[in-house]
Structure 1
């Protein structure tokens, strides 16, 4: 049986986490972005999203539809893996607000989760299952088991129903809090009460701000530490906020600017 804390074993703040591989420096959720984050920016963890293709393969992508990131349109789930592999996943990426598109026509493709796991066999990965499709959790669980990757992934969904199904099929894996469970933890704490105990989830993947309210504070850090919970905040691209979070000792910083975060971490002299 896999120990529940396998994913968290040996982790020390603050982790450098490339959000979608670094969505502001390379085409998001592609091997090109992931390699850049790992090889140039020394990321500690990749954050990515997965969907099911029409033929039941687990592919890495954030959106339900294709037009924002590729040269195609329409729902991702309507296409087979073979059809999706033909698309240009670097087509829309522009580092300068549409003046240039440096990755167009360079063979950038949507990768499968299996490809990512094999490309980075020792790296920890934060995996969000996107579609609310009954049975998707079983497909994902089978893939992770086949790849012997359960000890290095933390799983979850924004939607509580999906997250609960993932816990059910993989009870011994690391799971991050879904939206409602996360809100319950934070809101009760903000009200001066003890947050509810929930052994299903080990990691709080959470926004740094809710509106104008900064959610990370001493009380949250203390409550999480007392309960053995890890905190990763998203999506932090401002250098001043990076510096502050590093001083606070946050568990991990998810960023679309892994280049900038690496600069700030190296300048701070802190491990990571």
Structure 2
């Protein structure tokens, strides 16, 4: 009897060993075909003024803490997006808010008080009224002694319609800042006027509710929310060792914090290959995902990435990172 128990135990041990070997081989990038090409560079808010991230929270007025300006661009404007693409961005991220006349204003903050000479929220104003505001009004690098962009931001807040017309082919990542489902419905109605080929280059992310509403109307559009991320990654963590990618991952975008990425099955090359096949765009972001929009903003930051990494990179300094990846060979 003991003999048979030993045989049974031995079989279990061997099965576990075989399973472990399979999991390793099936998920190790050492055995994956080498990926070719450069990383995909995502420029957060175009080219923007920089500021210290120390102590930044959701309601921090970052315009009041900028570093001495290195350039004249203001975030989320058409000139800043043009400059971002010229600097090497493959995708530009922009933020949208609904207006009083049901247009989408391209602007980052929840309220107008920090950056502009207006008060309240965008939905209190028509797009024409927002155009009259000075979006450079609140910027200061010296505690309010000087305001280097005051008077220079009038008529610079664009509508989403202006952005779409100005960049008819370029890839854009549209951030719906609210969790209002109606905004998702209105955005879907607006985007539905564009050809399918154009929409292939547009991705929408934001609150669970607006993204869910948009997806109902435009099911083939690439989207991302906390809910879509969880629906994809939680089952992948459970079964991804087999190579299976959950159906919920299809047509989504993943923003993967660098501290979490190494724990995903197959990271980096196997994971990226699997997600590519499921039409998933993978963007690596800085930190552990809990803080401000931390990105890869310097040559030192880039050194933290896996060797020959070819996935997406979130950056707040496309002017710096674009130079690194576009150096003549």
Instruction: Give the TM-score taking structure 1 as reference length.
Output: 0.79
Conserved? CA contact 1:16–1:252, under 8 Å: yes
Q: CA deviation at 1:29?
A: 0.9
Which consecutive residues of structure 1, in runs of 5 or more, have no partner in the other structure?
1-10, 209-213
1:223 aligns with 2:274: no
* Structure 2 CA distance for aligned equivalents of residues 205 and 108 of structure 1: 32
For residue 134 of structure 1, report the CA deviation from its aligned partner: 3.2
Q: Separation in 1 of the partners of 2:142 and 2:307?
A: 31
- 1:97-176 matches, within 5 Å, as 101-106=147-152, 107=154, 109-148=156-195, 149-157=198-206, 159-176=207-224
Whichever of the two has the greater Rg, that structure is 2
Alpha-carbon separation, structure 2, partners of 1:185 and 1:84:
38
Q: Name the SS for the 2:248 alignment partner.
A: coil
| Root-mean-square deviation (Å) | 2.9
Aligned twin of 1:67: 113
Return 230-239 or 74-83, whichever deviates more: 230-239
> What residue in structure 2 maps to residue 5 of structure 1?
none
The SS at the match of 1:128 is strand
The question of 1:266 aligning with 2:326 is answered yes
SS class of match (2:283): strand
Structure 2: 5+ residue stretches without partners: 1-35, 51-70, 286-294
SS in 2 for 1:223: helix
Structure-to-structure mapping, 1:1-272, within 5 angstroms: 13-23=38-48, 24=50, 26-39=73-86, 41-94=87-140, 101-106=147-152, 107=154, 109-148=156-195, 149-157=198-206, 159-176=207-224, 178-183=225-230, 185-186=232-233, 196-208=246-258, 214-217=259-262, 219-221=266-268, 222-227=270-275, 228=277, 229-234=280-285, 235-245=295-305, 247-267=307-327, 269=329
Alpha-carbon offset, residue 151 of structure 1:
2.4
- In the alignment, the residues of structure 2 paired with residue 98 and residue 17 of structure 1 have an alpha-carbon distance, to the nearest angstrom, of 32
Displacement after TM superposition at 1:68 (Å): 2.5
Q: Higher helix share goes to which structure?
A: 2
TM-score computed with the length of structure 2 as normaliser = 0.67
Aligned length: 251
